[in-house]
Amino acid sequence: MSSSEQSVVPVVPDDVDAPQDESALTVVVAFVANILIAVAKSVAAAMTGSASMLAEAAHSWADTGNEVFLLIAQRRAAKPADATHPLGHGREVYVWSLFAAIGLFAVGAGVSITHGISELAHPEPATDFGIAYAVLAVSAVLEGVSFFQASRQAKRAASRRDKDLFEHVLATSDPTVRAVFFEDGAALVGIAIAFAGIGLHQVTGSATPDAIGSILVGVLLGVVAIVLIDRNRRFLVGEIADPDLIDAALRELLELAEVDRVTELRLEFVGARMLFLTGAVDLVGNLPEDQASHVLASLERRIAANRHIVGALLSLSEPEDVSLVPRTRP
């Protein structure tokens, strides 16, 4: 192998997403915060009889269960490739994250809406409003800490990719960051709704605002769950990398001494920060078949040496194939 072959490796930018260790920290912070909040809200719901507080307790227990699923997702997705899974187990992160999103929909949204409707039909007065306010205040602080961690991780990655924060969270290949960001954001909004419902209950003496608050929390959780379910579904069935990432890979392929042109290029996510590259290239010179196959194999190995590429498969371009041209300059 020549020195030029050894010196250049097609690289997908390392800032494709945040480091795995930071994603794990984000989930652990969310888990600790949610389990503390869930216990506190459950006690407060039992003491006050507030429908909104019960909805918030169901919400926090659902979030706690979700963090368990997300921790399992990260652990199983990190398993190395083997004979039966040559591209690794990266897609497991989307399977377990999908379970978490379904749990959020069934437990969080289902319980909140059902209890709110029941409270509308059979209203019961709430008591000990001070306890409810105190628990909501503490919950807001803990949820804020968890949301800050998720936002900080997402903001750094979004900044490196020159993307809007919300756009990046929706597009990121790491479902754990997306789940914690949306769940904690929804939790903060839910706390505000519960605070308003309980406050109106106390002022008016009617349980109706409290019940409506419970229903609104459930609707909020349902919307978040549907968004998370849809994103995980898309990655499970095969989501390609965004155009900027593909463009960066195309530029680096075209810089290789052995490559004359690229006529096909596809980068598909097979896990969080894990990509499989396929493409067709026209090699420099008129190489015989056996030599061309060796060059292609060498290119594939060097591409797969990148920590974000789990595998590469290249073929030779047909003479009539149209050459790909980078959309943007580096």
Q: Is residue 1's pLDDT more than 60?
A: no
**3-class DSSP state of 279:** strand
Q: Report the amino acid identity of residue 243.
A: P
Residues above pLDDT 70, as percent of the chain:
92
**3-class DSSP state of 276:** strand
Rounded to two decimals, the pTM is 0.80
Let me know: does 284 contact 316? Beta carbons within 8 Å: no
Which residues lie closer than 8 Å to 302 by C-beta, 6 or more apart?
A: 5, 8, 9, 10
Which pLDDT belongs to residue 146? 84
Name the band, by pLDDT with cuts 50, 70 and 90, for residue 262.
very high
CATH of domain 18-237: 1.20.1510.10
Average pLDDT over residues 183-197: 89
Q: Which residue has the higher pLDDT, 107 or 147?
A: 147
Q: Is residue 40's pLDDT more than 80?
A: yes
Which pLDDT belongs to residue 100? 85
**3-class DSSP state of 325:** coil
Q: Is residue 8's pLDDT more than 70?
A: no
Radius of gyration of the chain (CA): 25
All CATH 1.20.1510.10 domain ranges in the chain, comma separated: 18-237
Name the band, by pLDDT with cuts 50, 70 and 90, for residue 21.
low
Name the band, by pLDDT with cuts 50, 70 and 90, for residue 6.
very low
Average pLDDT over residues 270-292: 89
The angle that helices 175-204 and 51-77 make with each other, rounded to 10 degrees, is 170
Q: Which residue has 């420099």 as its token pair?
A: 284
d(CA 313, CA 274): 15
DSSP 161: T
Please state whether beta strands 259-271 and 274-283 pair in parallel, antiparallel, or not at all (unpaired).
antiparallel
Name the band, by pLDDT with cuts 50, 70 and 90, for residue 9.
very low
Q: Which of 7-16, 102-111, 156-165, 184-193 has the lowest mean pLDDT?
A: 7-16
Name the band, by pLDDT with cuts 50, 70 and 90, for residue 22.
low
Which pLDDT belongs to residue 315? 93
Of 282, 250, 288, 290, nearest to 266 by C-alpha is: 250
Which pLDDT belongs to residue 276? 93
Measured in whole angstroms, the distance separating CA 64 from the mean position of its chain's CA atoms is 16
Q: From residue 44, how far is each of 87, 97, 134, 198 by CA, in Å? A: 48, 29, 9, 12
Which pLDDT belongs to residue 80? 82
Buried b vs exposed e over 279-317: b needs ≥16 C-beta within 10 Å?
bbbebeeeeeeeeeeebbeebbebbbebebbbbbebebb
Average pLDDT, the chain: 84
Q: pLDDT tens for residues 119-162?
A: 888 887 777 788 888 988 988 888 888 888 888 888 888 887 77
Q: Dihedral of CA 37/39/45/47: which sign? A: negative
Which pLDDT belongs to residue 45? 85
d(CA 171, CA 244): 12
Name the band, by pLDDT with cuts 50, 70 and 90, for residue 19.
low
Q: Report the amino acid identity of residue 82.
A: D
d(CA 77, CA 75): 6
Of 59, 64, 34, 65, nearest to 221 by C-alpha is: 59
Average pLDDT over residues 171-199: 88
Q: Is residue 5's pLDDT more than 70?
A: no
Order of strands across the sheet with 309-316? 259-271, 274-283, 309-316
Which pLDDT belongs to residue 230? 94
Which pLDDT belongs to residue 125? 75
Q: Dihedral of CA 245/248/250/253: which sign? A: negative
Q: Is residue 284's pLDDT more than 70?
A: yes
d(CA 44, CA 50): 8
CA dihedral 37, 38, 39, 41 (to 10 degrees): 80
Tell which CATH architecture fits domain 241-316.
Answer: 2-Layer Sandwich (3.30)
Q: From residue 97, how far is each of 201, 217, 226, 233 by CA, in Å? A: 36, 21, 12, 10
Which pLDDT belongs to residue 295? 92
Q: Is residue 263's pLDDT more than 80?
A: yes
| Burial (CB count <10 Å: 0-12, 13-18, 19+), residue 100 | buried
